[in-house]
Structure 1
Amino acid sequence: MPIKFGTDGWRDIIAEDFTYENVRRVARAHAQALRAAGGNSVVVGFDTRFQGANFARVAAEALAESGLNVLLAREFLPTPALSFAVVHHRAAGGVMITASHNPPLYSGYKIKGAYGGSATPALVAEVERALAQPQAYDGPPGTVQSFDIRGAYYAGLDRQLDLETLRGYRGTVIHDAMGGAAGGWLTGYARHAGLNLDLRELHGQPDPMFYGVNPEPIPQNLAGLMAALSAETGTALGVVTDGDGDRVGAVTAGGHFFNSHQIFAVLLRHLHGRGLRGRVVKTVSGSRVIELLAGRLGLDLLETPVGFKYITDAFLEGQQDEARAVLMGGEESGGLGMGAHIPERDGLLNSLLLLEAVAASGRSLDELFAQIEAEVGFRHHYDRGDLHLSAGFDKNALLKEARGYTEVAGHPVEGIKTTDGVKLLLAGGASAMFRASGTEPVVRVYVEAQSPEAVQAILNEATRRVLALDTVQPA
């Protein structure tokens, strides 16, 4: 069975292709790559998915049999805490058993670098080569020991936050952990830091089925949180973390969804206001608002393909060259990283920074973003469609055709970006982006415009064009 790595490791369906034996294969290849680079230790963690602890144990055993000393998490933990542990324990790398925001049937093997972030394309390529050309290991085995990183990770968050400002906030915060690995971690931090706020948990208990939704912080999965915020007013907010706690979402008072582009903009403006500087890194699927805001703040902007590993590359460049240091980097999916922290998405840190922005300004997230829209002269509206197509769908044919479009729903095409997929730059600052999944028969369509009506018209037309090309019938 071929094991295919996507933008952030290997993911597959539990018991179908994600099996103990295949986890062993990947772990041995990972060990081979780490040993070749001179590594001798690795940290292993897992989230709340079905069999997570057992898959992590199997990976740890295979890594140890392949000569590495392994630190294995005692219990489930968020991905950013695992990445932090890699740096804290000076390990050569890390493994997180998770499929992040994917449906409950999936699990995965995320690879982390020694720097405490997503594997770079170069590191993934080394593991793939080792999978294709495995070498038997006949040296002494390593050891497996347990670890608990919570205290050290909380101390790391202390260094990134304005605790005095946070301690002054007296409003309501609801954390929806979606049954995932961040459950209990935000309330635990609040106790650690002495925050005197009304912090409530929703879906905080672990649930391998994620309370009946996919653990992704998007509106259709957040009915409970929206209902809980519907009667709140003022600066009350809800924060959401996905299945493994690296992505963030938000809901504002009145039950309004606050999307990832808006979160990026508010945090960028807030960090700049704290006096922090550096490059801004965004994936090509990110909002035009980020580009305009970075320009207004006098910050350099770098645009990358989709996948946090490309943002990680920029973080690592910045660590080597101060002139290229990154202030923050993020992607459309809610994964945001801060240059002063680890080069990793951190849904918990970002949740706390959102709260800090509200506490420091005395304004709601909606008010803070409206101020940004006024500053940059662009009204942001956005939607995304995930189109599930037949297994034989010709994704390359779609992308070729999209490059030839001259208009979409009456909006003329003024430019094209092919950084990842095809992004059409439309009149009036609107855009429509087509991107095919590398692992599933799925095409994602991302649309941004200055009115909800324009977004819907563009998304409907783009969707129709994609579906019209799906002429392959299932067998």
Structure 2
Amino acid sequence: MPIKFGTDGWRDIIAEDFTYANVREVARAHAQALRAGGGQSVVVGYDTRFQGAGFARVVAEVMAGEGLRVLLAREYLPTPALSFAVVHHAAAGGVMITASHNPPQYSGYKIKGAYGGSATPAIVAEIERALQHPEVYRGPAGSIGPLDIRGAYYAQLDRQLDLETLRGYRGTVIHDAMGGAGCGWLTGYARHAGLNLDLRELHGRPDPLFHGVNPEPIPQSLGELMGLLANETGTALGVVTDGDADRVGAVTAGGRFFNSHQIFAVLLRHLHGRGVRGRVVKTVSGSRVIELLAERLGLSLLETPVGFKYITDAFLEGQADEALAVLMAGEESGGLASRGHIPERDGLLNSLLMVEAMAASGKSLDELFAAIEAEVDFRHHYDRGDLHLGAGFDKNALLREAQGYREIAGHVVEGVKTIDGVKLLLSGGASAMFRASGTEPVVRVYVEAQTPEAVRAILDEATRRVLALDVGQPV
């Protein structure tokens, strides 16, 4: 069976490998792994993708047949709400039918641990073993009941936010839900919490085709939102959630894209200012600004491979040992988590925290980040290239070659990190990272430098070197 687990579960193309038959096999193996660990219940949810409700129903039926008590979502819901439901209902685990930010033709099977976060490598390994060695269950059947988590999840957001400060914000916020699982959830929370902000929805109708874009909060998918904010000034803000609403992006007044590194820095500074303390955790693809800011604030920093499961491990260590508690963690792709919540990305919470940071300071996100740049003496500019390559492309050969580079676009290589892929530390504080995707036939090139011209030159040169190794073409 052609099933391969990536950084956050299993994703594949609908009707090609992501079929009802394969979903049944994965659900059976997952149920077997849960039972082997003493688990008795599981929570199942889905996003707005094609046949999401049908796939979720199949998962629920198989797991109930394997003796588990299943709570099945009544309607689409965000992944962070599903993850919170696992903890709220003291379930042994969770399943979210979603392919997150992947193109519409994909679906996926996200696995959540009992702690309400991404499955650790150990959990995934147990499921993989059960796939290879299935057992016949002969015990009594379980049950399927309805899951309605919205009210409890909103109450959890209440506990994470400074509602008095948030209610003082009077600006305009546009939520681009991209047709995904965040549709209606942010406006619903605003009504619940009595917020007075001018909150508008863009692409707030659920759509399995995501209104014609890939549901990822990156500039290529946000042209309409940028246009709406082009003539706005001050603290007007556009917040973006991806297909299952765990990742976040932002567009500021004037139609400027505000990337995930900038969001991470602003929220870290804001939460620290609220008195929250702990470690800072970032994936290796994250910005140097985070490293410099953590040092400036006197906070320890942990760098991990790409994949939120590694960040989850750090949160779990912090729950077991207060000295290792995590203040905030994040990844380049817009997944951010903070202390006191579930160890999970939450695009809705992070959207509201951005508004709270502006309300508390009276400044825009651009102004808040500019102050951080001045504080750490580093000017952040960033871009990423996603290179779709031929089927015969040797990704490992690329990574071996990249480790031997001595310069790129005139920037001397001063250090090499191989935590995940290859990250070259370049002169002038710049960096170039090469990494093969675990879920798509893609090599990603991440570049940071202190001027946009340097970013462009490094990315162009890095892209040419990748493409010279094969016949692939950039997208």
Q: Per-residue displacement from partner, 1:382-409 (whole Å, max 9, x unpaired)? A: 0000000001110110000000000001
58-67 or 282-291, which moves further after superposition? 58-67
Cα deviations by residue, 1:116-167 (Å, 9 ceiling, x for unpaired) = 0000011011101111111111111110001100000000000000000011
Report the residue type matching 2:376 in the other structure.
V
| 8 Å Cα contact 1:393-1:441 kept in structure 2 | no
Task: Provide the rounded CA distance (Å) in 1 between the counterparts of 2:440 and 2:82.
Answer: 27
- Is the Cα–Cα contact under 8 Å of residues 279 and 299 in structure 2 kept in the other structure? yes
The 1:234/1:471 distance shift into structure 2, 3 A limit, reads closer
1:91 CA displacement:
0.1
Q: Deviations over 1:204-261 (max 9, x none)?
A: 0100000000000000100111011111110110000000000000000010000000
Residue of structure 2 in register with 1:310 after alignment:
310
- Which letter maps to 2:124? V
Does residue 289 of structure 2 align to residue 289 of structure 1? yes
- Which residue number corresponds to residue 442 of structure 1? 442
Q: For 2:390 and 2:96, locate their aligned partners in 1 and report how far apart those are by CA, in whole Å.
A: 31
Structure 2 matches for 1:345-424, cutoff 5 A?
345-424=345-424
Compute the TM-score of the two structures, normalised by the length of structure 1. Answer: 0.99
Structure 1 partner of 2:45: 45
| 1:93 maps onto 2:77 in alignment | no
What aligned pairs does 1:3-14 form with structure 2 within 5 A after superposition? 3-14=3-14
Shift in Å, 1:438: 2.3
Counterpart in 1 of 2:262?
Answer: 262
Q: CA–CA distance in 2 between the matches of 1:325 and 1:264?
A: 17
2:64 is equivalent to residue 74 of structure 1 = no
Matches within 5 A, 1:57-68: 57-68=57-68
2:455 aligns with: 455
Number of the residue aligned with 1:216 = 216
- Looking at structure 2, the residues matched to 161 and 179 of structure 1 have their Cα atoms a distance apart, in angstroms, of 26
| 2:416 match: secondary structure | strand
- 1:194-205 → structure 2 map (5 Å cutoff): 194-205=194-205
The one-letter code sitting in structure 1 at the alignment partner of 2:46 is: F
Distance 2:470 2:38 in 1: 48
Match in the other structure for 1:118: 118
TM-fit CA distance, 1:67 = 1.1
Cross-structure match for 1:324: 324
User: What SS is found at the alignment partner of 1:118?
Assistant: coil
Letter in 2 for 1:150: R
1:55 — aligned with what? 55
Opposite residue 416 of structure 2, the aligned amino acid is I
**Superposition CA RMSD, Å:** 0.9
Amino acid at match of 1:356: E
Residue type of the partner of 2:257?
A: F
TM superposition shift of 1:471 = 5.0
Question: What is the rounded CA distance, in whole Å, between the counterparts of 1:129 and 1:338 in structure 2?
Answer: 32
- 1:289-335: CA deviations, max 9, x gaps? 00000000000000000000000000000000000000011000000
Q: How far does the alpha carbon of each residue in 1:362-390 deviate from its partner, in whole angstroms, 9 at most, with x for none? A: 00000000000000000000000000000
Please identify runs of 4+ aligned residues in structure 1 that moved more than 3 A.
none
Q: Secondary structure at the match of 1:435?
A: strand
Contact 1:392/1:472 (<8 A) preserved: no
The CA distance in 2 between the partners of 1:26 and 1:35, in whole Å, is 14
Secondary structure, aligned partner of 2:160:
coil
Distance in structure 2 (CA, Å) of the matches to 1:228 and 1:471: 39
Distance 2:21 2:471 in 1: 37
Secondary structure, counterpart of 1:390 in structure 2: coil
The answer to whether the 8 A contact 2:389-2:471 is kept is: no
Give the superposition deviation at 1:472: 8.4
Q: Structure 2: which 5+ runs fail to align?
A: none
Inter-partner Cα distance in structure 1 for 2:452 and 2:230? 21
Deviations 1:344-375 (A, max 9, x none): 00000000000000000000000000000000
- After the TM superposition, which of the residue ranges 228-237 and 79-88 deviates more from structure 2? 228-237
SS state of the match for residue 462, structure 2? helix
Paired residues of 1:78 and 1:244 also in contact (CA < 8 A)? yes
One-letter amino acid of the structure 2 residue matched with residue 44 of structure 1: V
Q: Which SS does the other structure have where 1:329 is aligned? A: strand
Structure 1 stretches of 5 or more lacking a match? none
Kept in 2, the 8 Å contact 1:79–1:244? The answer is yes
Is 1:137 aligned to 2:123, yes or no? no
User: What's the offset of the Cα at 1:439?
Assistant: 3.3
Structure 2 distance, partners of 1:38, 1:339, is: 28
The count of residues paired between Structure 1 and Structure 2 equals: 473
Which amino acid in 2 is paired with 1:8?
D
What SS does the aligned partner of 1:71 have? strand
User: Identical aligned pairs, as a percentage?
Assistant: 85
The 2-side partners of 1:185 and 1:385 are apart by 31
Whether the 8 Å contact between 2:387 and 2:472 is mirrored in structure 1 is: no
Alignment of structure 1 residues 100-115 onto 2, 5 Å: 100-115=100-115
Give the aligned partner of residue 271 of structure 2.
Answer: 271
1:471–1:184 Cα change, 3 Å: closer
Opposite residue 203 of structure 1, the aligned amino acid is H
Q: Give distance in 2, aligned partners of 1:472 and 1:406.
A: 24
Secondary structure of 1:159's partner? Answer: helix
Structure-2 change in CA distance of 1:435 and 1:145 (3 Å): same
* 1:190 equivalent in structure 2: 190
What is the CA–CA distance in structure 1 between the aligned matches of 2:57 and 2:132, rounded to whole Å? 24
AA of the residue aligned to 1:401? E
